[in-house]
Amino acid sequence: MNLFSTFRVAILALLLNKMRSFLTVLGIIIGVGSVIAMVAIGEGAKAEVQRAFDKMGTNLLVIRSGSAQTSGVRGGAGSQPTLLWTDVDAIRKETLYVTKVSPSLRQNVQILGEGKNWTTSAEGTTPEYFEIRNWTFQYGGPFNEQDVTTKAKVAVLGGTVVDNLFGNAADAVGSTVRLNNVPFEVIGVLSRKGQAATGQDADDVVMVPAGTFAAKVQGGLRQYLGGSIYVGAATPEDTRKAQAEITTLLRARHKLRDDEPDDFTVSSLAEAASARQEGTETMTRLLAGIALVSLLVGGIGIMNIMLVSVTERTREIGLRMAIGARPGDILIQFVIEAVVLASVGGLLGVGLGFGVATYLSSEFGWATKIDPQIVALALGSSALVGVGFGLYPAHKASRLDPIQALRYE
């Protein structure tokens, strides 16, 4: 018998017991479907984490002031002003891996506009901040360096502030709002970023030039910068180098001795993103491992049914061997049956995995991402399961004695 004839005989044998064949592959269907659905959820979660950090800036560093200490109690990063306005220029001019630098001064304020009011976060910064944060505009545009220098009373609004004061974003540009009873002209509306990686509403903000903020909103701290410094590295790969450069520069500028701790902190979002990615990858592996157990159980089911099939078809095997079938032909036939069962189960499992992933995405809003490589791996694994668990029954069938098989009742 050639391979095609053996394959045809194997398929006909499976079709004679359709229900048993379906129940046999059910374990494989559930196993493959579970692998694809679980990995899709894990990959979707990783993509969501990466998307959230991309919104904040893929090569972003945040420098905060030091910690105040009273009676042994430390206030945490930013509680003691230690950063200088001149630090901003020094970082811009004296580092190799930094391309953009911007101060960020924050304070909660009451904003008034169109007869309505809203409590939001006011932020004083420079035009470079929008480039560092990859923040575009829905309407209007950012303020410029001249606005910062002349302390112009202009403002840029986030989407949440616009919703609560104006309703329509287009109506906001050109209007006047008041911060601490100081009038500001709205020149731009920011594109929505949604929820930040920290869980805060990134769109609940109003931004004004840093000089104006220090003079009209916060109150100046003279040479000290009452906030943070946002830094954009040349590339995401240069973030660590930029972090080391900034640390060395600021320690020298603040005249810190070797045995003194830093009076500032330099945080990298890349590190936070990496930590979260590792967490989601671990969860994905765990879910995939659980799903693979289902695939293993499905393989055991195939072996069990194939052993039953060998017993039921003992006379058939003896008859085929009596008229010239070789042990290798019998072996190949039963291996093909096992592989066909596993492969069909794998294909149906792929469909189930796609269906479950789509349902979870639409019903619960879970982010899912189907990886073609995982689909190919799941199909390949199901075929290998068929070979692995079908080989023993096939070997047992091929070793039957033709005379004893023909006598089998």
- Average pLDDT value for residue range 335-346: 82
pTM value is 0.60
Rounded CA gap, 312 and 33, in Å? 31
Structure-token match 């009596």, residue found: 322
- Residue 198, pLDDT score: 60
The predicted structure's pLDDT at residue 15: 76
Q: Is the pLDDT of residue 70 over 70?
A: no
> Is the CB of residue 100 less than 8 Å from the CB of residue 128?
yes
Type of residue at 23: L
Residue 399's SS3 state is coil
Give the pLDDT score at 89: 92
More confident residue, 273 or 51: 51
Give the domain ranges of the chain.
3-52+279-407, 83-262
Query: Tens digit of pLDDT for each residue in 167-185?
Result: 887 788 999 999 988 999 9
- Indicate the range of 25-34, 60-69, 94-103, 156-165 predicted with least confidence: 60-69
pLDDT tens digit string along 194-216?
776 566 788 999 999 998 998 88
Least confident among 123-132, 228-237, 322-331 = 322-331
409 — pLDDT class (breaks 50, 70, 90) = low
Q: Which amino acid is at 238?
A: D
The helix-helix angle for 327-364 and 3-15 (nearest 10°) equals: 60
Q: What is the mean pLDDT of residues 283-306?
A: 75
pLDDT given at position 90: 93
- β-partners of residue 183 are 178
Q: How many C-beta atoms lie closer than 10 Å to residue 116's C-beta? A: 12
Q: What percentage of the chain reaches a pLDDT higher than 90? A: 24
Q: Is 199 exposed, middle or buried (0-12, 13-18, 19+ CB in 10 A)?
A: exposed
Give the orientation angle of helix 372-398 with respect to helix 327-364, to 10 degrees: 150
Please report the pLDDT score of residue 78 as a whole number. Answer: 46
